[in-house]
Amino acid sequence: MSQKVLGIDVGGTGIKGAVVDISTGEFATEKIKYKTPKDSNPEAVLAVIKALISDFEWSDKPIAFGFPAIIKNGVAKSAANIHKDWINFDIITYLSQKLNVQNVTVVNDADAAGLAELTFGSAKGKKGTVLLLTLGTGIGSALMVDGQLVPNTEFGHLKWKKSITEHYASNRARKDKKLKWPEFGSELSEVLKHIELLLSPDCIIIGGGISKSFEEYGPLLDVKAEVIPAQLKNNAGIIGAAYYNHLNSK
Ligand code: BGC
């Protein structure tokens, strides 16, 4: 019998969910997306999560969250693109109490995407050092070494020019600065060169919403490592959060 988990990817711009079939990594339902509330504090995000749970009629069954922050033992330790009230907030205890669900897990959103790509997507079977970067509202990173995830890396927060990398090479930066694809490609290429100097990855995977436009900027990325788009595209966060639940729930 296949196991199903509701995966919810909480992002700085959208909150999306789908029921995932763990045996295949495929969606067992359609994907539903809501806008992240402007004031994205725990109570406001909880209201959106409740709406998703009611859409999927998902009561007292496993729920898995991908969250855009450093996560240690179910507690958020940062909050770059989400309300600061989440810092040091015990996400698992709060959500399992408020939703009245026993089986709740939370993992960093990019780590979730990395896990999904490792298990079902473009990182499957890859040896050596693989770095997935999700380019969305921010830049998330998942570092994988010989198929093992090194959690909570934050390559979107590397110091860069006057700020940090995610303020120059995320999909949001591209839109805010109205960058044309060649301009964006050359900015991203510079960031990747710097990361390559630090990590010498064998493969870099570009994920997030922008992965579907890879042909626009991919050929401009001037690094030694193989650079490929994420196979599961923007669904990787949902799929990986659900898979993380499968691996880690008691
Ligand atoms: C956060 C990361 C997150 C990424 C993508 C960054 O600003 O610090 O934890 O993975 O955005 O959402």
Based on the fold, state whether residues 168 and 187 are members of the same structural domain: yes
pLDDT of 89 above 70? yes
Overall number of domains in the chain = 2
Based on the fold, state whether residues 146 and 66 are members of the same structural domain: no
Based on the fold, state whether residues 136 and 78 are members of the same structural domain: no
- Residues in contact with ligand 1 by the CB-under-6-Å rule are 68-70, 78, 80-81, 108-110, 134, 136, 138, 140, 154, 156-157, 166
What is the dihedral angle through the alpha carbons of 46, 50, 56, 61, rounded to the nearest 10 degrees?
A: 80
Pocket test for ligand 1, best of 67, 71, 81 (most atoms within 8 A of CB): 81
Residue 14 lies in a domain: yes
Segments in 42-180 forming alpha helices (H): 42-55, 91-99, 109-120, 166-169, 171-176
pLDDT tens-digit series, residues 95-135? 999 999 999 999 999 999 999 999 999 999 999 999 999 99
What value does the mean pLDDT take over residues 45-69?
Answer: 97
Contact 206, 214 (CB under 8 A): yes
Based on the fold, state whether residues 167 and 139 are members of the same structural domain: yes
Residue 193 lies in a domain: yes
Based on the fold, state whether residues 161 and 215 are members of the same structural domain: yes
Among residues 86, 26, 29, the alpha carbon closest in space to that of 55 is found at 29
Residue 42 lies in a domain: yes
What value does the mean pLDDT take over residues 64-91?
Answer: 98
What's the 2 CA to ligand 1 centre distance in angstroms?
31
Based on the fold, state whether residues 75 and 9 are members of the same structural domain: yes
Q: Which residue has the tokens 């067992």?
A: 28
Residue 117 lies in a domain: no
pLDDT of 18 above 60? yes
Residue 118 lies in a domain: no
Residue 71 lies in a domain: yes
Residue 36 lies in a domain: yes
Based on the fold, state whether residues 107 and 68 are members of the same structural domain: yes
Q: What is the CATH number of the domain that holds 211?
A: 3.30.420.40
**Domain assignment of residue 99, given as a range:** 4-111+236-248
